Structure 1
């Protein structure tokens, strides 16, 4: 099952993102769940959120993956959406 994780950072949280980025990137690469990933950018080009495409067994697995993300553990996100996704191209 493909799931799009769309997370928005809390206002002013760029230092939290930068501090936790190495652990987050390591987590992204730690297993087969992540199919695509990258930061969302604001108008100035600064990172302000995340878009991650997960390939997991079910929504429970997506929720568990999201909860274990170092960014989530650091309290970076103001919101996180997990949305089932259907790949059409790519």
Structure 2
């Protein structure tokens, strides 16, 4: 399972990132093989942080990634939430969601 990182800027962090944005982008380019998906986090159109899906289930590798990440090194984040991500869409294999649906129906019937 990939590790999801939800990194939220500290007050002023979005603005403070601008002088080191090129270094951040260089880091992301250099580490494309370690990132499955990533980009800015917006709330009501306002930049609040970044979200990354790392190609690892090892918390130590996620920590190593962040230790080298320029925004993290500059202490721009007030909070980083790390969770394991289980993706169902797109389906990991054809019919996967239908199988889940059948299992859910059986659980409801067993509870009755």
Q: Tell me if both proteins adopt one fold, taking TM over 0.5 as the criterion.
A: yes
Higher helix share: 2
Structure possessing the higher relative contact order (Cα contacts under 8 Å, 6 or more residues apart): 1
Q: Which runs of 5+ in 2 are unaligned?
A: 91-112
Partner of 1:76: 76
CA contact (8 A) 2:4 2:82 kept: yes
Partner of 1:46: 46
Higher strand share: 1
What is the alpha-carbon distance in structure 2 between the residues aligned to residue 30 and residue 11 of structure 1?
28
Q: Give the 3-state SS of the residue equivalent to 2:30 in structure 1.
A: coil
Q: Give the 3-state SS of the residue equivalent to 2:36 in structure 1.
A: strand
Count of residues in correspondence between the two structures: 89
Partner of 1:85: 85
Partner of 2:37: 36
Structure with the greater alpha carbon radius of gyration: 2
- Deviation track 1:41-63 (CA, whole Å, cap 9, x = no partner) reads 133x2322010000025111011
Partner of 2:11: 11
Q: Give the 3-state SS of the residue equivalent to 2:17 in structure 1.
A: helix
Please give the root-mean-square deviation of Cα atoms over the aligned residues, in Å.
Answer: 1.5
Q: Give the 3-state SS of the residue equivalent to 1:29 in structure 2.
A: helix
CA contact (8 A) 2:2 2:53 kept: yes
Using structure 2 for the length normalisation, give the TM-score. Answer: 0.72
